[in-house]
Amino acid sequence: MRGDAGSMTYLRPRDPEEALRLAGECPDALALAGGTDIMVAWNAGRLNGRSILDLSGLDDWRRVSTTRDGIDIGALVTHAQLIRHRELAAGWPLLAAACATVGGPQIQARGTLGGNIANASPAGDTFPALAVYEARVRVRSSRGGRELPFAEVFAGVKRTHLAPGELIVSVHLPRPPEPDRQLFRKVGTRAAQAISKAVAAGLLWTDSGGSVRELRFALGSMAPTVRRLRRAEEFLRGRRLDKGVVSEAARLLEEDVSPISDVRSTAAYRLRASQNILRGFLEGRLETP
Amino acid sequence: MIRLSVNGRRRAYAGPPFARLIDALREDWGLTGTKEGCGEGECGACTVLIDGEPANACLVPMGQLDGARVETVEALGTPERLNRLQRAFAEKGGAQCGICTPGMLMAAEAHRRAKGRKDREGICRALSGNLCRCTGYKHIIESVSAALKGKK
Ligand SMILES: Cc1cc2nc3c(=O)[nH]c(=O)nc-3n(C[C@H](O)[C@H](O)[C@H](O)COP(=O)(O)OP(=O)(O)OC[C@H]3O[C@@H](n4cnc5c(N)ncnc54)[C@H](O)[C@@H]3O)c2cc1C
Ligand code: FES
Ligand code: FES
């Protein structure tokens, strides 16, 4: 079956207040941002008869602003906007690098950061970067707003902890201290337009003696939701990155993920690929400039 | 009523707001240069420019286009007066069956206007949202490269 335009109820609020009121009145309405996920489902005939709450007219949610403490990215900001954003590239380059791997230029020009998050795909390519930058997701409903640490946004495959009537307004990234090493890597079947088999982001701070002060490392496509490698991060604190230590960290990686085999890859390949990425990063062979 | 500009001409659209841009272009306005390959955002055959940025017309509902400026392959040139990209595709074998060509041209046009990189990698990246089943891409990339480097 195909999408039937006549069967849809289409709501297009002009400002955030109207959007939140409509979202409260019609909690079943599906929010629409860039449509790069929704329109695919609609074209396949899976959304006929639904109500659509089109957020694309809310210019207030399309802005990026930086302060001394961090950067605020409106939910409707597109991947293309983020790729071009100078201050993002300077302070949070892993997110800019991630956005540049989402689909091709057409998808980047329409797809939004809010839509990427709300879609909650296990393979969301921005998620490892958002996880290591310890993003905070600001949501609002007609009853008020709250802020979710990024680690608490996802409930499972394609599910978030947003309540009915709640919309993502913006994403805040605190400004991290300058890392000594950083990495974004996407493993896919081809460079562009491919859903990732594994995707990784890492930030490393070392002290003058070369011991690890802090590691933050996150993996996507390796579990129902994005995972920080808490065990490896904890283990490495205060240690020098010699051979045995790196091997132990790669082994510990396994305890924080639960990869599956699917049409794109096998669990064993995913595990090995992500262990190789972690090793390469810790050994200084893999880096994002 | 949704008002927009299509290839420089003002258009008013009164159909269902959730109809897709590609259907309005092809069925309501007879602009059949824009092709539908997959209907899933994968192939890029339906690429048009919306406010100067490349977009898949199969993924955009008309309701999002009030006040927008849409450009399709018909705006690039005419059979008598091909634009530089079109001429390069014709001369360098950038088109075989032609289904992907309008989308390739529009993605390349977006890249040209954005003053994107003219080397192979830059062109490949600009065309990474477009699939071609015939040419193996080599001639397409050469066509775009020739058009970007060619002197006026
Ligand atoms: C060909 C193709 C390739 C792709 N490649 C990639 C890829 O490589 N990596 C990747 O991560 N993704 C990819 N995607 C998926 C998609 O493009 C991204 O997830 C994109 O960021 C979605 O944003 P959107 O604005 O288009 O979302 P929409 O389709 O508008 O919405 C997606 C979901 O989010 C909800 N939503 C949107 N905005 C809000 C909000 N503000 N508050 C609450 N809910 C909201 C919607 O209700 C819907 O459930 C691809 C898609 C296609 C079609
Ligand atoms: S038809 Fe739109 S991307 Fe294939
Ligand atoms: S020329 Fe046939 S698909 Fe590209």
Res A1: pLDDT: 66
Last residue of a domain, one of B40, B75, B110: B75
Residue type, B140: I
B54 and A52 within 8 Å at the Cβ level: the answer is no
- Is A181-282 in CATH node 3.30.390.50? yes
Which of the four CATH numbers 1.20.1300, 3.30.70, 3.30.43, 3.30.420 does domain A2-54 have?
A: 3.30.43
Residue B89 sits in the same domain as residue B70: no
Whether residue B2 contacts residue B20, with contact meaning beta carbons closer than 8 Å, is answered with: no
What is the arithmetic mean of pLDDT over A184-213? 85
Last residue of a domain, one of B75, B94, B126: B75
The CATH number of the domain where B135 resides is what? 1.10.150.120
Q: Identify the sign of the CA torsion A6, B64, B73, B102.
A: negative
Last residue of a domain, one of B35, B52, B75: B75
Report the DSSP pairing between strands B9-13 and B47-50: unpaired
Write the pLDDT tens digit of every residue in A231-253: 999 999 999 999 999 999 999 99
Residue B92 sits in the same domain as residue B70: no
Which of the four CATH numbers 3.40.50.12240, 3.40.50.300, 3.40.50.2000, 3.30.465.10 does domain A59-174 have?
A: 3.30.465.10
Nearest to B55 among A12, A52, A110 (CB): A110
Res B152: pLDDT: 46
Residues forming CATH 3.30.465.10 domain(s) in chain A? 59-174
DSSP label of A254: G
Residue B9 sits in the same domain as residue B67: yes
Let me know the angle formed at the C-alpha of A261 by A96 and A225, rounded to the nearest 5 degrees.
45
Distance in angstroms (rounded) separating the CA atoms of residues A109 and B48: 12
Decide if pLDDT at B1 tops 50. Answer: yes
Backbone angles phi, psi at A189, to 5 degrees: -75, -30
Which residues on neighbouring strands pair with residue B52, listed in sequence order? none
What is the arithmetic mean of pLDDT over B11-29? 97
Nearest to B111 by CA among B61, B65, B44: B44
- For the Cβ of B131 lying below 6 angstroms from any atom of ligand 3, the answer is no
Report the domain count for chain B: 2
Q: Ligand 3, atom 1: nearest CA belongs to which residue?
A: B96
Lowest mean pLDDT across A15-19, A128-132, A193-197, B55-59? A193-197
Cβ-Cβ contacts under 8 Å for B31 (sequence gap 6 or more): B6, B7, B25, B72, B74
Decide if pLDDT at B33 tops 90. Answer: yes
pLDDT band at B151 (very low <50, low <70, confident <90, very high): low
Nearest to A193 among B16, B59, B129 (CB): B129
Res B150: pLDDT: 79
Residues forming CATH 3.30.390.50 domain(s) in chain A? 181-282
Q: What distance, in Å, lies between the first and last C-alpha atoms of chain A?
A: 47
> What ipTM describes this predicted complex?
0.97
Distance in angstroms (rounded) separating the CA atoms of residues B12 and B58: 19
Residue B51 sits in the same domain as residue B19: yes
Nearest to A43 among B40, B107, B127 (CB): B40
Say which residue, A72 or A267, is predicted with more confidence: A72
Residues forming CATH 3.30.43 domain(s) in chain A? 2-54
CA of B55 to nearest chain A CA: how many angstroms apart?
4
Q: Which residue range(s) make up the domain with B125?
A: 84-148
What is the arithmetic mean of pLDDT over A63-84? 97
The B-side interface with A (CB below 8 A) comprises 15-20, 39-42, 44, 47, 50, 53-56, 58-61, 63-64, 107, 110-111, 125-130
- For the Cβ of A128 lying below 6 angstroms from any atom of ligand 1, the answer is no
Say which residue, A196 or A171, is predicted with more confidence: A171
Write the pLDDT tens digit of every residue in A95-104: 999 999 999 9
Which of B58, B73, B106, B127 best tests ligand 2's pocket when mutated (most atoms within 8 Å of CB)?
B58
A273 to each of A103, A221, A231, A267, B44, how far by Cα in Å? 21, 12, 18, 10, 30
Residue B42 sits in the same domain as residue B103: no
> Which stretches of A4-147 are DSSP H helices?
16-25, 38-43, 79-84, 86-91, 93-99, 105-110, 113-119, 127-132
Distance in angstroms (rounded) separating the CA atoms of residues A114 and A130: 12
Residue B34 sits in the same domain as residue B88: no
Residue B104 sits in the same domain as residue B141: yes
